[in-house]
């Protein structure tokens, strides 16, 4: 078996050679962002997210850290941090998996089959359980507001400056000084 660093480099290169846009965030191949599209025939269809990937030194023996950088409304994704709750990444990761598995299987499955019983976003879980049609409408609204390709450039790594509340409500009066408050 090859060394972890060779495997890491091979997996990142395989992802870069696929249909995914990969943007490195430092000089190495341990931190990067991937453009991820919502699955077809789902409320997330048409949405485009920037997903942060951090590979630990022990990858593939230790799972990568994965998080959405732009907002997404989903019971198993923390709305503020973008962290995801997905057993296959957080608990049952295996070196048999690679980065393509994450973007071609695990994330699409997460979006297609949310688990409101194990939520990181209680509001999304509650709405899904109470009114699936209203939940799907809110997902589509988030896709329209936060997950369009032209808005990805506004999403910076680790920052909450992606879109202001004024932009969400459609107000033209943006208070730039007020955006710095936590």
Contact by Cβ (8 Å): 71, 146? yes
DSSP β-bridge partners for residue 37:
48
The string of DSSP codes covering 88-138 is HHHTS--TT--HHHIIIIIHHHHHHS--TTS-S-HHHHHHHHH-HHHHHHH
Provide the angle, in degrees to the nearest 10, between the axes of the packed helices 132-146 and 122-130.
140
Among the listed residues 29, 69, 85, 125, the single catalytic one is 85
Confirm whether 85 is a catalytic residue. yes
Residue 140 and residue 73: Cα distance in Å, rounded? 9
CA 79-122-156 angle, to 5 degrees, is: 5
- Smallest Cα–Cα separation from 72: which of 14, 139, 15? 139
Residue 79 and residue 146: Cα distance in Å, rounded? 12
Q: Peptide bond before 60: cis, by omega within 30 degrees of 0?
A: yes
Question: Which active-site residues does the annotation give?
Answer: 85
């Amino acid at each position: 078996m090859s060394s972890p660093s060779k495997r890491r480099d091979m997996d990142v290169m395989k992802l870069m050679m696929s249909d995914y846009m990969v943007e490195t965030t430092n000089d190495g191949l341990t931190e990067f962002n991937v453009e991820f599209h919502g699955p077809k025939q789902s409320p997330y269809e048409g949405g485009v997210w920037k997903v942060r990937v951090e590979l630990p030194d022990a990858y593939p023996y230790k799972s990568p850290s994965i998080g959405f950088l732009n907002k997404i409304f989903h019971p198993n994704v923390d709305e503020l941090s973008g962290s995801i709750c997905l057993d296959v990444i957080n608990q049952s990761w295996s070196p048999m998996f690679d980065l393509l598995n994450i973007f071609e299987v695990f994330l699409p499955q997460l979006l297609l089959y949310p688990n409101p019983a194990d939520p990181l976003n209680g509001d999304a879980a509650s709405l899904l359980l109470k009114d699936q049609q209203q939940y799907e409408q809110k997902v589509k609204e988030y896709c329209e507001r936060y997950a369009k390709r032209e808005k990805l450039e506004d999403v910076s790594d680790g920052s909450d400056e992606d879109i202001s509340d004024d932009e969400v409500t459609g107000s033209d009066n943006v208070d730039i000084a007020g955006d710095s408050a936590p």
